[in-house]
Amino acid sequence: MKLADDVRLSDDVVTRTVGEEVVLLNLATGTYFGLDPVGGRFLALIEQGKSALEARDALLETYAVAPDVLDRDLEALLDQLAANSILDKGPFE
């Protein structure tokens, strides 16, 4: 999955913050997923209506990381979340 893809949290997923970790549970599949603070912030921005690219830009402003490293890591995260039915890929209406 690419950062330019239109993504959103699946309707079947609930999220909770536990300590510094964000826990995601797909109620339809029983799939559980945990995110560290950076991944949790990325997902929170997407939940707030930001695109993946906008969320990436916000993370670049917050964390000292090379853009290509962040892009690679976020695209791998998007792949994992989609594979576990946490995120849906658009287009959406």
How many other CB atoms are there within 10 angstroms of residue 52's CB atom?
A: 23
The per-residue pLDDT for 78 is 95
Q: What mean pLDDT, rounded, does the chain reach? A: 92
- Taking alpha carbons only, the member of 13, 21, 16 closest to residue 81 is 13
Question: pLDDT (tens digit, 9 = 90+) per residue, 23-62?
Answer: 999 999 998 899 999 999 999 999 999 999 999 999 999 9
User: Exposed (0-12), middle (13-18) or buried (19+): which is 44, by Cβ within 10 Å?
Assistant: middle
Per-residue pLDDT band at 91 (split at 50, 70, 90): confident
Domains in the chain, ordered, with CATH?
7-85 (3.90.930)
Q: Rounded to two decimals, what is the model's pTM?
A: 0.89
Phi, psi of 9 (to 5 degrees): -65, 135
